Amino acid sequence: MEPALKPSRIWTDVDLEREGRQLGHLRLNISSDTRPSSFIPIPIASFRNGPGPQILLLGGVHGDEFEGQVMLMKLIRSLDIENVKGHLIILSAANAPAAYAGTRTSPLDSGNLNRAYPGDPNGSPTQEIAYFIQTKLLSRVEYLLDFHSGSAGTMIIPSAHVYYSPDKEKFRRLTKMLEVFGMPLSVILNGLVDHDKKAIGASDRAGVLRFSTELGGGGGITLDALRRAEKGLGRLLHHLGALRNPIVEEPPQPIELVRRLPNANYVYALASGLFEPYVQLGDSVTAGQAVGAIHFPEEPWREPVVAKVNSNGFIHAIRTHATTQMGDALFMLHVPWKGDL
């Protein structure tokens, strides 16, 4: 028998059982030197209108990823409840402390929300948020639409992605979502590292289909990626049956399926210094190719340490911060998807 779930300490003025449009906050209790009995507001929007799909939409899981936050704020303001079927729950700033600070992790506990599942109702603030999402939100939906970008220090080629499933029908539904969303580059992931701590692990535990994106990044708004994603989201919500009438008329573009190579194929800095890239996003590279260098400000006469790729592929992500420490990821790669992992 499964142990009884402990109650979450996060509370809200939004009744998720109630029909209609509701806007409010989840309240994350805090107690500090200057705020001894306070809460941090986490915005939540609920659009519930009769029978239909149940969908959770997340932005701001990492606070320095801005495209998803902006897209969901705009959706909250524009969505007509009469056009909704089922239930849409929107958290545009899921890890609110990080989102308000514009940082990847929470300034309260250095917590990474996408490494905190299934969470802990009596844990750190980030663990409390993860627990609420796992037990109170994912438990009541069929789909998770989880919008990410590269961090302030990373630019990722704009793309949508899903995780591979050996369940053929489930994987067919996921790849159809990629086709409808219509990001030209669409990625199949395998999730070899920290799977259970991530939203994909939380979704698997809840029996939820998860769809996600990487919409540029680098600490700003990638305009073309944001506009493509806004249109893709409108198409996807209609495809899933959550909208009575389409809000986007433009059809999706054909997509290219690729798979991102695992961590062992990342290019890492093998010294600390200033990072100079030799290649750009989307460039084709071959194993052994020099793709960047680390220079040494304290010893400008010293020859740089050259970074090389260990696999053939295409540049999928690139570090945008020049100041680099040994062990930092400089590049990620992808290759065409051929049904292989």
**Topology given in CATH for the domain delimited by 263-336:** OB fold (Dihydrolipoamide Acetyltransferase, E2P) (2.40.50)
Question: Which tens digit of pLDDT belongs to each residue from 157-186?
Answer: 999 999 999 999 999 999 999 999 999 999
- The three-class DSSP label of residue 296 is coil
Question: Which tens digit of pLDDT belongs to each residue from 214-266?
Answer: 999 999 999 999 999 999 999 999 999 999 999 999 999 999 999 999 999 99
37 — pLDDT class (breaks 50, 70, 90): confident
Question: Which tens digit of pLDDT belongs to each residue from 49-101?
Answer: 999 999 999 999 999 999 999 999 999 999 999 999 999 999 999 999 999 99
- The three-class DSSP label of residue 288 is coil
Non-local (6+) Cβ contacts of 143 within 8 A are 53, 54, 55, 56, 208, 209, 210, 211, 240
Q: Does the structure show a pLDDT above 90 at 192?
A: no
* pLDDT score at 33: 85
- CA–CA gap between residue 25 and residue 203 (Å, rounded): 23
- CA–CA gap between residue 58 and residue 214 (Å, rounded): 13
For residue 232, give both structure tokens. Answer: 């893709």
Q: In terms of Cα–Cα distance, which of 191, 185, 311 is closest to 255?
A: 185
Q: Does the structure show a pLDDT above 90 at 8?
A: yes
Where are the domains positioned within the chain? 11-260, 263-336
Q: Is the pTM of this model over 0.85?
A: yes
For residue 13, give both structure tokens. Answer: 């003025």
- CA–CA gap between residue 175 and residue 185 (Å, rounded): 12
Q: Does the structure show a pLDDT above 60 at 3?
A: no
- CA–CA gap between residue 65 and residue 321 (Å, rounded): 15
The CATH number of the structural domain formed by 11-260 is: 3.40.630.10
* pLDDT score at 5: 78
Question: Which tens digit of pLDDT belongs to each residue from 285-329?
Answer: 999 999 999 999 999 999 999 999 999 999 999 999 999 999 999
Average pLDDT over residues 134-144: 98
